[in-house]
Amino acid sequence: MKRTCWMLIGSMTVLVLSLMGFHDRAEALSVTSLDFTSGAVNWDGRHGRILDRLFAQDGSIAIGSYQSMSDIVDPITRGHKTFSLFTGALNGAPAPSVGIDGSSITVDLSSLYFGWTNGSQVRAWNIGGLATGLFNPQTAEFCLTWDHLFNGGVGKGKYDMMGERSATFFLQGTANVAQTPVPLSAGVVFYATGLTFMGGLVWWKSRRALAGAVS
């Protein structure tokens, strides 16, 4: 009986120590950037072809930070205008962020813009939205889609995006991921501690009963 109790206590102690050590070993996916190798835009509005060409290039969207007009993809020059993609807080939107749940991925791209420059002239239109799609945890490959309704933009008249027209965006590629620690649930530690306490209580009662029997 005494040996059994000691084995129980030892097992519970090992469990608690293992769970406490697991706090440092538990990891989750943290995406630092989305490297896309293909994309497309389903939209026939003004600058639609240029926009589609920009998304068809290889590019990278940084997560957690904004990017300038030459960071996401290589700009395209047509005539006197240079067209590009960038992210920014012009509409108060946060920097891109990612959420992954199993094989599902959600990306907040509300700060994504399309724009052109011509000397000192600058025009920009928000093209972002909440993108959703599929994610492969083994290969980190993703595919995303989102819709955006154009309703004018920064620059009206002949510079607008042809009034209120909806566009659908597609992106696919590979996510750059890093492993980050995940705090162990306090409930798990509490449960394991309780088991250890119960083991100690059984040992104490058995010892007390043994002492009574001897006396």
Only one residue has tokens 């994504």, namely 112
Give the H/E segment covering residue 166: strand 164-181
Strand, coil or helix: 185: coil
The span from the CA of 58 to the CA of 107, in Å, is 18
Residue 66: name the closest of 119, 29, 112 by CA: 112
Give the pLDDT of residue 163: 54
| Average per-residue pLDDT for the chain | 78
Angle value at C-alpha 63, between 59 and 67, nearest 5 degrees: 60
Over 70: is that where the pLDDT of 195 sits? no
3-state secondary structure of 19: helix
Lowest mean pLDDT among 32-41, 97-106, 163-172: 163-172
User: Tokens at residue 193, please?
Assistant: 């501690």
DSSP structure string for 92-144: SPPPPEEEEETTEEEEE-TTEEEEEEETTEEEEEE---EEEEEE-TTT-EEEE
Region of residue 146 (left: phi > 0; alpha: psi -120 to 50; beta: else): beta
Q: Which of 105-109, 183-187, 209-213 has the lowest mean pLDDT?
A: 183-187
Q: What Rg value do the Cα atoms of the chain yield, rounded?
A: 28
**Model pLDDT, residue 11:** 52
DSSP 3-state assignment of 58? coil
Under the banding of pLDDT at 50, 70 and 90, the label for residue 128 is: very high
Which H or E element spans position 180? strand 164-181
pLDDT for 88 equals: 95
Q: Is the pLDDT of residue 181 over 80?
A: no
pLDDT value at position 209? 59
Between 128 and 201, where is the model more confident? Answer: 128
Long-range contact pairs involving 147-150 (C-beta distance under 8 Å, separation at least 24): 150/45, 150/125
Rounded distance between C-alpha atoms, residue 37 and residue 89, angstroms: 25
Asked if residues 49 and 78 have their Cβ atoms less than 8 Å apart, the reply is: no
Mean pLDDT of 121-140: 95
Interval 169-191 mean pLDDT: 70
Q: What is the pTM of this model?
A: 0.68
Q: Which amino acid is at 102?
A: G
